[in-house]
Amino acid sequence: MLDFLRPDGRKHDELRSVNFQNGIAPHATGSTLVKFGNTQVICSATIENKLPKWMHAQGLKGGWLTAEYSMLPYSTLDRKDRDISRGKMDGRSIEIQRLIGRSLRAVLDLSKIQEKTIWIDCDVLQADGGTRTASITGAYVATKIAINRLIKDGVIKEDPFKDAVAAVSVGIFYDEEVLDLNYHEDKDASVDCNLVMTGSGQFVEIQGSGEEATYSEKQFNNLLAIGKKGIKELVQLQEQAISI
């Protein structure tokens, strides 16, 4: 494994180049363009001073966070139809936006954003594998920037974030456990997993499956080990981006 090099020259436990370009959507309360290699996603956080009707109906207190995810038509090699053109939302997009919302809510104390809804929008500009993990990682940065702005403006008194959250893919590619798969690796991987974790090392969600294959407990533990390494590096990059 020490000598194993991937098609793009990375080591088995090496992230793609990751960077954040903040302020990409000026009208949002917070935003960033996150890049995992050639995967690029615009993540924005917009604050509304109202709650969903179902919260009022159930008499629930505090605030709410929800997410939407979409792939722009030109984000893939073959043009992807917009949901509105097909008359229904893509099932994969529904699953991913729910994952983004769950991941952010796992590290938020919603009682500290009374009567407010945080809208997360993740729009994929270019897809080269790992769009959901890039979206979660970028969504945290965009939301944290938005929260910092609300605190600075005196809109809320304290930070509702209890921890950071980031996500990364791991998988088995030609019998090797690898970190942060690009499209080519993801397409040919025998095992594909997505790992969502907090900055303090707590698990939020693990999604993993064999592609007409099985994997051992040892392989799973190896995937967890390189995934945790990747999450730690991503959280450091998030902190740097937010501090700019």
Distance CA 204, CA 52 (A): 24
CB burial of residue 109 (10 Å; 0-12, 13-18, 19+): middle
Distance CA 216, CA 228 (A): 18
Q: Which string of b and e fits 6-24 if b means at least 16 CB within 10 Å?
A: beeebebbbbbebebebeb
| pLDDT tens over the chain, length 244 residues | 456 778 899 999 999 999 999 999 999 999 999 999 999 999 999 999 999 999 889 988 899 999 999 988 788 777 877 776 666 677 888 999 999 999 999 999 999 998 999 999 999 999 999 999 999 999 999 999 999 999 999 999 999 999 999 999 999 999 999 999 999 999 999 999 999 999 999 999 999 999 889 999 999 999 999 999 999 999 999 999 999 7
Residue owning tokens 């979660």? 136
Domains of the chain and CATH, by start: 18-243 (3.30.230.70)
Name the token pair of 203: 């698990």
Facing residues of 106 across strands? none
Q: Where do the H-state alpha helices sit in the chain?
A: 53-57, 83-86, 91-105, 131-152, 183-188, 217-243
In sequence order, the 6+-apart residues with CB closer than 8 A to the CB of 220 are 208
Q: How many C-alpha atoms does 205 have within 13 Å on its Cβ side?
A: 21
Q: Which string of b and e fits 75-100 if b means at least 16 CB within 10 Å?
A: beeeebeeeeeeeeebeebeebbebb
Predicted TM-score of the model (pTM)? 0.94
Backbone phi, psi, residue 138, to 5°: -75, -35
